[in-house]
Amino acid sequence: MKQFYRALGLGALVLLIQACTSQGPSFRKNPVDDLIKDMTEVPDFSIILYDMNFDEQSEQYQHQYRILKEPQGSDSILSETTGWLQVSPEYFNEQVDNMGMTIVSKTNGTVDKKVSPPGYNQYVGNEKYGQWRQQSDGSSFWEFYGKYAFLRSVLGFGYSPIYYGGWYDYRRNYYPYGRTYYGTTSSGRGNRFGTTGSHNSSRSTASTWNSKDQSFKNRVRSRVQRSASRSRTNRSGSRYRSGSSSRGRGFGGGK
């Protein structure tokens, strides 16, 4: 009889494994986590969502990232841009409004996954890289030191000023609460940062996403929302079935 119950328990375990592997979605590691792991020894870096796309032929959601990093023991900043990396529908949907933003930063060895305007978490407001300059009208803007002047271009600001008011608003009212700050344009119409923001649309180098027409963008947004929703539903159902199977196995294998 004990052998029978052991066999029954083993059978339930096999069914549980099959249910999790065949009915649940396959696990796809987030490429950003790989980038973070690859830079374990780098004390300071930023990962910016540089571009995004949906390849209709392969049906793949894709990201490109711009990485700024300061190697250990160096005060220079290196910039590199990745190739196209496949991401899950859930992650694409999570970041669909954040193109041009910093999605991960690391300062003094501490990783921060709060989404922020490019440079606002590390470089802007940091006296190591520059200083605030006051204008005749009383407003202040950020000026990078000559050694780091290239950051204006790399972060996508070009000749656009980085005003103290916007940065202070982010640091005081958004960052402490984990809220994403998109800012407003000087006219007060629309966002300054993010996928649809003026900062992103005015970038000097054309992006794949910006080159697509609005109908394509709408189709991708609608499609990825449905895909992400299905994946969440499948995971939820898999966890429910897994829990039920576990309880059944425990009852069958009791004393």
In this prediction, residue 250 has a pLDDT band, given cuts at 50, 70 and 90, of very low
Per-residue pLDDT at 235 = 62
Is pLDDT of 188 > 90?
Answer: no
Closest listed residue to residue 65, CA positions, set 54, 87, 49? 49
pLDDT at 22: 40
Q: Per mean pLDDT, which range of 23-27, 76-80, 140-144 is the poorest?
A: 23-27
Q: Please, which pLDDT band fits residue 120 given cuts at 50, 70 and 90? A: very high
Q: What is the CA radius of gyration of the chain?
A: 24
Q: CA 100 to CA 241: how far, in whole Å?
A: 40
36-70, pLDDT tens digit by residue?
Answer: 999 999 999 999 999 999 999 999 999 999 999 99
pLDDT at 242 over 60: no
Which pLDDT belongs to residue 24?
A: 39
The amino acid that residue 230 corresponds to is R
Structure tokens at 49: 């969502």
Q: Among residues of the chain, what percentage have pLDDT more than 70?
A: 78
* 250 dihedral zone (left: phi>0; alpha: psi -120 to 50; beta): alpha
Q: How many domains does the chain have?
A: 1
- Structural domain including 87 reads 2-252
What pTM was computed for the model? 0.79
